[in-house]
Structure 1
Amino acid sequence: MSYTVAEFITLRLKQLGCYHVFGVPGTSCSDFIDSLVADPDMQFVNTVNELEAGYAADGYGRQGAIGAVSVAYGVGTLSMANGIASALTERVPLAVINGGPTDKDLRLEAEYDVLFSHSTGFGKTDLKVFRKLTLGAAEIRTLEGAADRIDRLLIMAMERSGPVYIEIPQDLWKQPIGHFSPNLAYSPKRFKRGARAFTNAVADKLAQASNPVVLLGAELVRFGLVDEALHFVEAQNLPFYTTLLSKSLISESHPLFCGVYDSDLAPSTVTQGVESSDCVIALGCLFGIDHRYMVTKLGDKLLRVAFNKAMIGTEVLPKLSLGASLESLNQLPELSRTDRQIPTVAGQTYQDRRAQWQSKLGDNPYSGTLGHDGIFAAIGDFLMDQNDPYYISLDTCLASFPGADIPVLDTQCFLANPIWLSIGQGTPAAIGAYYATGKRPLIVTGDGGFQMVSQAFSSFVQNQIPGIIVIIDNGSYAIEQFLIDGTFFTEPDKAPLDYVMLNGWKYENMPHVYNGGIGLRVTSYEDLLGALRHAHARPDQPCVIAAQIPMKDLPAENRAFLGI
């Protein structure tokens, strides 16, 4: 059977488990989109804008298959660059499929100085930009060898877990691709050079350690290694924590689960368990600025392997893959003590996990005027009552800190952006996660982040995605206020910075604008719990809930940090 270039890329995406491509239609990619529409297994998901498309593909790719996005050349691709940078930083397999200028376009521009559509005039702008934002980028200007070049890029995205960029001149989409292998056969490379050194170091540390722990990271999900990691944890009877990026990779009901280390502002049971350990084994973890204190404090007590790099403290070992390291670690005899008490949080409610913060929140922190902790207490209580799993998407905002303590009993149903830290990512990324998992999204976002991507609510309505979006409505970029000048929260009469203030929106009226959905506003724990239950009972449409809180409210750990 003969395949066009467009049909070939469509086939390869399916073979990699991708059945949804996100984007905004443009003439440069219209022939590719036509091939998606013609394929009964595929769906092209229209988004309102290109940044939303990039974030949605990012959210899709975090679930085990490759994500894919296709938008217009130049004006579209450059608009979604931030979403692709998110995938690069947090190591998400993703393919940017772009239609580029033809040879004729480039020739006429060079000879007559007349720009083709969406050209900057400075030569192959998209290709140059995306070479900096992907693991690999190429334009396919000739049909000879095109299939092999496309395959190499797609395999790179899967083997190295990150985005790639494929540009096809728009007059080649319908041309025959020529000969290609019927299947995209590959097996992830396993680098083993550092396995002995790393395993010996782990064995030595475990034999001497009195309180060893394990940190489990997102690479375990990216490469399907969760079971191997769990085998190691259980065989050695080791308490384990996750990072926020990998929250829920194993059910938090597991008796060895001890919490989420999101930063040094985590509850003391978590920070002490990790930061005071004499042996921390980090498997597949990406570390960002919120982990800097922990990583530097532990020094050579931290042994880690992630994305083909193994380290003991600052010493870099020979190249080692996570899969190869787990294979070696799982051959170790039992080295860890079995009589030690495990500080598990399994079975604990949100309120239980945060009991240490009670003094920072007053006598009855989860009743009366709503605050950050009241929002998550209501969400935690709501989730504990549900039999149907929700997919939790936590946007970057002050809520990132308390959001780490939501009890999640299902597996691989949580999304955050804690390394790239782009506010606004959570809402559109949940669209991609919904198509990949089928689980109903529950999104928690700050009002500043949501205003950046609010049009995504239209995509929820248009595509009948029954998401529940809880907007923390305090009228400001509160996380920026906290980071720039925290004295606003400590001094009752101090005004906020002018440049962090937002125009107040009536979010509950959005369904009238976007022609569908439910809109609610709440001001107390009881109101929010009722609103969540009301939205849950309407699985046929999305719901936006404006959770109004005082501008000076802070999560408990942030209050403790400021000494209030």
Structure 2
Amino acid sequence: MPPSVVTYVLDRLADLGIGHVFGVPGDYSFPLNDAVEVHPRLQWVPSANELNAAYAADGYARRRGAGIVCTTYGVGELSALNGVMGSMAERLPVFHLVGTPSVRIVRQGLICHHTLGDTRYDRFEAISAAAGCVSARLTPENAVVELERVIDKALEDSRPAYLTVPMDLALMPITGTPIQGTPIGSIDQHASVTVELDAVLDLVMERLAKATRPLVMPTVTLKRFGLVETFATFLEVSGLAYATTPMDKALLSEGHPAFLGMYNGVRSTPAALQSVVEGADVLLDVGGLVMEDLNTGLWSGYLDSRRVISLHADWVQAGDQVFTSVSLSEVLAGLIKRFQAADAKPSQWGEQRPVQPEPLIPLAGEGDQPTASANVYPRLQRFLRPTDLLMSDTGTSLLKLNAMRLPDGVAIETQTLWGSIGWATPAALGCALADAERRVVLVTGDGAHQLTVQEIGVMGFMKVKPVVIVLNNGLYGVEALLSETGHAYNDLPPWRYAQLPEAFGCQGWWCGKASTVAELEQALAAINAHNGAAYLEVSIPPEESLPLPEAMIETLHQTATP
């Protein structure tokens, strides 16, 4: 007998390599919930709420290639919307599965819960679909064909997909022949048009051959399309140096010999990197740089478009020249072959390194001195292990961590573009489940943490072992930065953070609090010696909510004035 609609949907998505479904159960989605519960390749993750579920699926997709969030109709899907929209902005294929009222209810025009009482059953569909690049209403007749269309588009664009299933049709058998899928890593981008591809390769090689100050700037798009290793090969054969923006930080290990540092306008590290990047006679943008405020030092950088060659996912721009129907994967593969066949040695293509990356932050403070940014971040830098995955929530801590050179092998995940505070705690859960080989180290401010802290209980329930570091300054630090200081609406309720894991039922967690340098050092040593999850509260002075120079803060405030 053919599988039911919901079983086939889950089978097909599990083929991609997804192993977990994040969500909150609801009566309209019970057929989906039930099918996940008995599925041999999927595990249900009982998220604290739908927003957290979407954040967790976002984190999962960053490390596994795709994720699933499952909600009920109306109240559930709308609660998840901010998280899914973040995945849209940051280019992550998250499949949003929603159970909807039965066809029997719709055809009789019955007024049901989770509606506005007006028998408009499709009222929320356009809203939720806007958070993705593709959507479909699944039925027994169209499930096979529509799923292929949706999966293809979601992976081609690396963005979310929205799928609805009426609860009665969900259990009916599909018509047509089921398709066996393949893991994401083996799915290729669409083929390029040969004449366009050759023209791009000729242009890039010609421009680089004439350049005296070439530089590469890779983007997170490489990660989204599984091209990081290909890019590493390109660096090896070309001999070119590279820098990243904050959004693309640690795309490769920051111990890579070709790495120069992080370009962020006037906040570049090292500072001399700004002139190197902006003075490059050819700047090869690999994936499409996002010139957003936090990614450019509050728009303080300037890249001459005449010198930039932008290799987007499926098109290329060089000045006023535009090439369509060329995939990034084939452009990189073609450039690798051209360099391997070239007579010129890699040393002729940019071996001289104009700047050296930032060294380790010097240690500061000792003993009973109060904890503060100046002594916390140098110790955090030394605490990290080569296989760690560092996660930072949106906030003032992100500004510090972005400027900090990560130890060799450490990866990082942030939400630089969408910037939704509270994202990182649930996303850390998703990352920990998707990438179990790495220790997840979450650094979050107390303000962001209060928004989504319930997911600590889910971490304990799912038996993941993150290290959670909460920087407690008693207020929404990033909002104080944006709004200027002294506003009561930025003050936070004083929580006893170190006691939360126990209250949430987490077992075997190391928990503690540090308010002096000595306590911080002891805590970090104890965490590294502990074979399990850990939760550390670190006191930070409230005045450190303004970690930027006064001139930059003034510029920031002026952007909001008439």
TM-score, structure 1 normalization: 0.87
**1:387-402 alignment runs, 5 A limit:** 389-402=387-400
CA distance, structure 2, for counterparts of residue 156 and residue 315 of structure 1: 27
Residues 299 and 374 from structure 1, CA distance in 2 versus in 1: closer, same or farther, beyond 3 angstroms?
farther
**Residue 320 of structure 1 corresponds to which residue in structure 2?**
326
Moved more, 194-203 or 19-28: 194-203
- State the 1:25 CA deviation: 1.3
Residues 444 and 36 from structure 1, CA distance in 2 versus in 1: closer, same or farther, beyond 3 angstroms?
same
**Residue 46 of structure 2 corresponds to which residue in structure 1?**
46
- State the 1:294 CA deviation: 6.6
**Residue 303 of structure 2 corresponds to which residue in structure 1?**
297
Q: Does 1:278 align with 2:281?
A: yes
- State the 1:440 CA deviation: 2.3
- State the 1:33 CA deviation: 2.1
- State the 1:512 CA deviation: 3.6
Segments of structure 1 that go 5 or more residues without pairing to the other structure are 353-362, 489-495
**Residue 133 of structure 1 corresponds to which residue in structure 2?**
131
Kept after mapping to 2: 8 A contact 1:390/1:440 = yes
Residues 103 and 366 from structure 1, CA distance in 2 versus in 1: closer, same or farther, beyond 3 angstroms?
farther
CA distance, structure 1, for counterparts of residue 199 and residue 545 of structure 2: 45
Moved more, 148-157 or 237-246: 237-246
Among 213, 216, 230, the alignment partner of 1:214 is: 216
Q: Residue 357 of structure 2 aligns to which amino acid in structure 1?
A: V
Kept after mapping to 2: 8 A contact 1:264/1:294 = yes
**Residue 116 of structure 1 corresponds to which residue in structure 2?**
112
Q: Residue 418 of structure 1 aligns to which amino acid in structure 2?
A: T
Q: 1:28-73 CA distances to partner (integer Å, 9 max, x unpaired)? A: 2222222222123221111111111001111111124320010221
Q: Does 1:176 align with 2:179?
A: no
Segments of structure 2 that go 5 or more residues without pairing to the other structure are 555-562
Q: 1:318-354 CA distances to partner (integer Å, 9 max, x unpaired)? A: 34321122123221434744552353438x42449xx
3-state SS of the aligned residue for 1:6?
helix
CA distance, structure 2, for counterparts of residue 543 and residue 558 of structure 1: 34
- State the 1:202 CA deviation: 2.7
**1:60-139 alignment runs, 5 A limit:** 60-109=60-109, 114-120=110-116, 121=118, 122-139=120-137
Among 349, 355, 365, the alignment partner of 2:360 is: 349
Q: Residue 300 of structure 1 aligns to which amino acid in structure 2?
A: R
CA distance, structure 2, for counterparts of residue 558 and residue 315 of structure 1: 39
Q: Does 1:520 align with 2:512?
A: yes
Residues 263 and 339 from structure 1, CA distance in 2 versus in 1: closer, same or farther, beyond 3 angstroms?
closer
Residues 209 and 533 from structure 1, CA distance in 2 versus in 1: closer, same or farther, beyond 3 angstroms?
same
Residues 243 and 474 from structure 1, CA distance in 2 versus in 1: closer, same or farther, beyond 3 angstroms?
same
**Residue 452 of structure 1 corresponds to which residue in structure 2?**
451
Among 246, 249, 254, the alignment partner of 1:247 is: 249
Kept after mapping to 2: 8 A contact 1:448/1:477 = yes
Identity %: 26
Q: Residue 93 of structure 2 aligns to which amino acid in structure 1?
A: P
Q: 1:88-110 CA distances to partner (integer Å, 9 max, x unpaired)? A: 1110011011111222222333x
**1:99-498 alignment runs, 5 A limit:** 99-109=99-109, 114-120=110-116, 121=118, 122-140=120-138, 142-184=139-181, 187-192=188-193, 194-262=196-264, 264-267=266-269, 268-287=271-290, 288-292=292-296, 293=299, 296-313=302-319, 316-330=322-336, 331-332=338-339, 333=342, 334=344, 336-345=348-357, 348-351=359-362, 368-383=369-384, 386=385, 389-404=387-402, 405-410=404-409, 413-438=411-436, 439-485=438-484, 488=485, 496-498=486-488
3-state SS of the aligned residue for 1:63?
helix
Kept after mapping to 2: 8 A contact 1:63/1:222 = no
Q: Residue 392 of structure 2 aligns to which amino acid in structure 1?
A: L
- State the 1:175 CA deviation: 0.9
- State the 1:316 CA deviation: 4.2
- State the 1:549 CA deviation: 1.0
- State the 1:263 CA deviation: 5.3
**Residue 27 of structure 1 corresponds to which residue in structure 2?**
27
Kept after mapping to 1: 8 A contact 2:241/2:351 = no
Moved more, 366-375 or 44-53: 366-375
Q: Residue 312 of structure 1 aligns to which amino acid in structure 2?
A: A
**RMSD across aligned positions (CA):** 2.6
Q: Does 1:535 align with 2:524?
A: no
Q: 1:493-532 CA distances to partner (integer Å, 9 max, x unpaired)? A: xxx1222222222211213421224432212344223222
CA distance, structure 2, for counterparts of residue 561 and residue 31 of structure 1: 53
Q: Residue 457 of structure 1 aligns to which amino acid in structure 2?
A: I
CA distance, structure 2, for counterparts of residue 319 and residue 366 of structure 1: 61
CA distance, structure 1, for counterparts of residue 329 and residue 552 of structure 2: 38
Among 498, 518, 526, the alignment partner of 1:508 is: 498
3-state SS of the aligned residue for 2:9?
helix
